[in-house]
Each structure stands twice: as C-alpha cells, then as structure tokens.
Amino acid sequence: MFRSNLLLVIVIVSLAANLSTSVSLLSSNEQKVKLALYCEALCPTSASFIINYLYKIIENGLISIVDLELSPYGNAKISANGTIVCQLGEWECMLNTVEACAIQTWPSVSDHFPFVYCIEKLAYENKYTEWETCFEKLNLDPKPVADCYGSGFGYELELQYAQETKMLQPAHTYVPWGVVDGQPLYDDFTEFISYICKAYKGSNVPNACLDVSHPIGAPKNAKPRNDECYKDEENAKSRSTLLEIILAIVASWMPNVGTADSM
C-alpha cells in the first residue's frame, strides 16, 4: 500500500513539474489549440482516458500548444426542483463539484490538472472515497475547495458546466466527449493528439507532433463502445442503481471488516 501511494505521488508531482515547464515554453503570440473534455468523475472510461491518455500531452510537452478545458459534469441531469442528479450517484455529484471547485480555485492547468488526475486515479482504482488525500499528496490547501463546495458556489459552477454541455453542437452522446477547436472527436477520442497536431497552425511544432503516425481524417460519428458512459436516461438509471447496490453491500460489510481487523 505504501509503495502504491508513493508511486502515485511521484507520478502526480512529475505531472505538475512537466506542466509548469511546458506551459512556459510557448510564446504568447502563438495560438493554442483548444481541447475541451466533457467528463464525469466516476465514469470508468473518463477516468481511464485522463490517467492513461490525456496525461501524455503533459509528459511529451504537447500541453505547450494546448488550451485544455475540463468540464466535470458529463451526463448529469437537473431535476425539476433544481437538484443535480448524477449518472453514478451522489458520490459522483460530489466529486464533479470538487473538481469544478479545484478548477475555479486554481485556474492554471498546471495547478488544477494534477489534482483532477489524482482524484481520477483513485476513481479508476475504486478508491474514490480517499479523494481528500490528494490535498496532502500535492501539498495543497484544502480550505478554498472546501469553502467553494460548502458555500454552494460549487453548485453554481456545476450549473455553468451543465449549460456548456447542453449547448454542445452536435450534442454529446456519451463521455468522455472530446472536442478539438470545436470539432467533436466522437469515438476517435483516444487519437486526440493527432487532431491537436493537425489543428495547430503555429511555428513551434512540438516534437510530439513529429512522431504522430496515425492517419488523420474526419472523425466518424461512430457508436460508442460498451465501456463508455452513455447519455441516455435508461442506462444512467441502471448504472446508478447498480452503484447504489454495491455501495450498500460494502457499507454492510464495514462492521464485519472492523471486527476482523481487531482480532
């Protein structure tokens, strides 16, 4: 456990250092490529994309030509009374809001991305209840995020993300949903680096673009794979119900686990 946590800390700190260095390399007069990622905290494919694909633009320096915008709302719905109902339950709503507050608190990508990465890494490992450890791992003050969440400002931020997501043209059908300079990537989102390199018109072409070999054509409006989180309400309800059942089972185990540990 200690070794696993230490490795996570090393990866996150390395991401933060790479971000800080890469962002400073691009001249202010170079136009960046906008990459918008619409995601949700507990969607397995969203978490996988962030920790296994998105981080690469930081590791390889491509972030220097990218204006990265994360939108942690995904397939949530707003009920008639104004309550936000998330696809994977209350935990997801809370973590979406926490990530929104982190982005608001630390606007620079070099500051908020390592925190979001940390949360998504824990979500990917089904350890999302340990999300608060990310503050300590990154040496961040939790108070601004806690104040944002507790004051209700985080809810207002989520409403803004809801509106942005609603205005997508074409509308998103699942998450993660990637958009490069206004062009949705559909099911080709894992090849996002190719589209970034194609869209970049500046003179400081990063080495990462010179290594791209994937042929770039117009992305196909393909059906999502089964592991993506669908937008349709029926799937959302079934997945949410399943998660609630799992959480209830885990909660019922907790007293027994405590007894076993004390023996």
Give the pLDDT mean for 129-138: 98
Q: Is residue 239 part of a domain?
A: no
Highest mean pLDDT: which range of 16-30, 123-137, 212-226 = 123-137
Q: Is residue 251 part of a domain?
A: no
Q: What pLDDT score does 52 carry?
A: 96
Q: Is residue 240 part of a domain?
A: no
Q: Which contacts of 130-136 are long-range, i.e. CB under 8 A and separated by 24 or more positions?
A: 131/95, 131/98, 133/5, 134/12
Q: What pLDDT score does 258 carry?
A: 39
Q: What pLDDT score does 263 carry?
A: 39
Domain of 121, in residue numbers: 2-231
pLDDT in tens, 81-101: 999 999 999 999 999 999 999
Check pLDDT > 80 for residue 1.
Answer: no
What is the pTM (predicted TM-score) of this model? 0.77
Q: What pLDDT score does 240 carry?
A: 47
Q: Is residue 253 part of a domain?
A: no
Q: What pLDDT score does 236 carry?
A: 46
Residues 59 and 236: beta-carbon distance below 8 Å: no
Check pLDDT > 90 for residue 223.
Answer: no
Give the pLDDT mean for 56-67: 94
Helix (H) or strand (E) holding 221: none
Q: Is residue 258 part of a domain?
A: no
Q: What pLDDT score does 230 carry?
A: 86
**Percent above pLDDT 90 for the chain:** 67
Q: Count how many domains the chain has.
A: 1
pLDDT in tens, 187-202: 999 999 999 999 999 9
Domain with residue 154: its CATH number is 3.40.30.10
Check pLDDT > 80 for residue 250.
Answer: no
**Rounded Cα gap, residues 69 and 115, in angstroms:** 14
| pLDDT band for position 232 (cuts 50, 70, 90) | confident
Q: Is residue 119 part of a domain?
A: yes
Give the pLDDT mean for 33-54: 97
**Rounded Cα gap, residues 174 and 138, in angstroms:** 31
Q: Which residue in this structure is represented by tokens 């999300």?
A: 131
In the chain, the largest separation of any two C-alpha atoms, in whole Å, equals 66
Q: Is residue 237 part of a domain?
A: no
Highest mean pLDDT: which range of 46-50, 241-245, 250-254 = 46-50
Q: What pLDDT score does 246 carry?
A: 53
Give the pLDDT mean for 61-89: 96
Q: Is residue 254 part of a domain?
A: no
